[in-house]
Chains A and B, each alone.
Chain A
């Protein structure tokens, strides 16, 4: 087996695919965080919507990715390429993100919220000074799941025209080239681990040391 050799012999191609892969994942991550955090916060205040929204996230998550890519590709205005890939991956990120934001906000000790209200915090102050900061450990757990997930599923976008590391894996399979498959898989894994590591660093900055013991550190 000589997948490092494959990478060295095809640096231009591998480089292009890797950058494309990272660009797609980062775009999806940014959009997902903005969208799904907001949705998670909203449903944490309107319980009646919560069940439906989380249910929808679960359903989407259960659809095989290849069929979802294929399905959205046929929608007029989406077609082959980055737009469809981004949309589908954002939908996949819904389940872990919405759920973790919702659960994080909901799992805040009611006594702390009661104390906050009793001291004269408004509803929004309770949300942003108590519920959100206390939800961070759970939210970050969700974000890190989503990051690894998106990086993996992004490989499937190769079938709708994305020129990313999925292409190495797909072509490796059709050609029976194990080195090619390995090269794609290993780089995808490294990207996932790297992004996860970066998230871990951010997490340590954002989560208060007062909550560290909950986040399973120290």
Chain B
């Protein structure tokens, strides 16, 4: 869907490359997260995809077409764009803000209006309540929602999101993340997502691109990166709770011992988790009930058992490096 081929960018007067020979692909329907410290080039990469910044070298292909050969304005109208500062037009109502890209694309008025109402509802806003309001009358969380709705207005197959949930408090952020993942399950957009928050990266990403000083340090699925960080930088970025993060991404079903291999009835202490739930939840259960094992269910049926020792061994196997 998006193919970035060996792009390099140096800003005038800068000592080093902002982006240095970066190559990656983003597959259709995936969220690809770019993570790294500030100044690592993640935002620059994002802005090169919709040509707000032109790469000095290298090519970017969108659906097989070279971005350089497309008209920048036309290209951008087919790519949703969400930024941390949101950038709502303060002199336009919420409805008018969401209708901007359809307006640029010259949609008929009724079609635009119908779409705007549908989008506001989709992002969890009441069109009757906020539609006629101006941005300054909304809360931060509401504005972020409008920002997302606006980016999705013309149903672009690709979305670029630069710290889209960065400006709200942690509680609202988690809710917006969950809601967005929920929307994504339905819409399967191809998304490039920039964040400096590694937890957000792991949560949102189907695929992670870890950057430092303009270079790609590591690429892979979150679990790949967590289980085998490329170097000390990635290990630091992931934090000291790498093992716990792995447990958050590991399904209970994958670590359990199947029920038929067990000598005794597994669910005897009554605490069970679903096989699709993360191991972290099972761990929480064990701590609450002061038990060292929990039963694992698929629906109502117990299919296995997850033990404290099993979890410990798993962590030791995937991330135990003596450190």
Report which A residues bind B (CB closer than 8 A): 109, 111-122, 125, 129-130, 133-134, 136, 207-211, 213-214
Contacts and interface: CB of A to CB of B under 8 A. Distances in A.
Contact of B90 (A114, A120, A125, A134): A134
A115 B84 CA distance: 10
A109 to B, nearest CB: 7
29 contacts: A109-B85, A109-B87, A111-B83, A111-B87, A112-B90, A114-B87, A115-B81, A115-B83, A115-B85, A115-B89, A116-B87, A116-B100, A117-B52, A118-B50, A118-B52, A118-B81, A118-B87, A119-B81, A119-B151, A120-B73, A120-B75, A122-B73, A130-B89, A134-B91, A208-B134, A209-B134, A211-B90, A211-B91, A214-B90
B136 interface: yes
B143 to A, nearest CB: 12
A217 to B, nearest CB: 13
Interface of B: 50, 52, 73-78, 81, 83, 85-93, 100-101, 104, 134-136, 150-151, 160
Contacts of B73: 120-122
A115 B83 CA distance: 7
Contact of A112 (B75, B87, B136): B87
B76 A118 contact: yes
A136 B150 CA distance: 24
Contact of B86 (A115, A116, A210): A115
Contacts of B86: 111, 115
Contacts of B52: 114, 117-118
B87 A120 contact: no
A113 B90 CA distance: 11
Contacts of B104: 119-121, 125
Contacts of A117: 52, 76
Nearest to B101: A119
Contacts of A113: 87
Nearest to B151: A119
- Interface of A, secondary structure class, is helix
Contact of A111 (B76, B78, B85): B85
Interface centre among A116, A120, A133, A208 (most CB of B within 10 A): A120
Contacts of A111: 83, 85-87
Contacts of A207: 91
A207 B92 CA distance: 11
B93 A210 contact: yes
Closest 10 CB pairs of A and B: A115-B87, A210-B134, A120-B77, A208-B91, A111-B85, A118-B81, A120-B76, A111-B87, A210-B91, A133-B91
A114 B83 contact: yes
Interface centre among B77, B87, B104, B151 (most CB of A within 10 A): B87
Nearest to A113: B87
Given A112-B88, A118-B83, A125-B104, A210 B136 contact: yes
A109 B87 CA distance: 8
A116 B104 CA distance: 11
B50 A116 contact: no
Contact of A210 (B77, B92, B100): B92
Contact of A208 (B76, B92, B151): B92
Nearest to A137: B91
Given A111-B87, A119-B104, A134-B91, 20 more contacts: A109-B85, A111-B85, A112-B90, A114-B85, A115-B81, A115-B83, A115-B89, A117-B76, A118-B76, A118-B83, A119-B76, A119-B77, A119-B151, A120-B77, A120-B78, A133-B91, A134-B89, A210-B90, A211-B90, A213-B136
Contacts of B136: 210, 213
Contacts of A130: 89
B42 to A, nearest CB: 16
Contacts of B91: 133-134, 136, 207-208, 210-211
A120 B101 contact: yes
A115 to B, nearest CB: 3
Interface centre among B52, B87, B91, B92 (most CB of A within 10 A): B91
Nearest to B74: A120
B110 to A, nearest CB: 21
Contacts of B93: 210
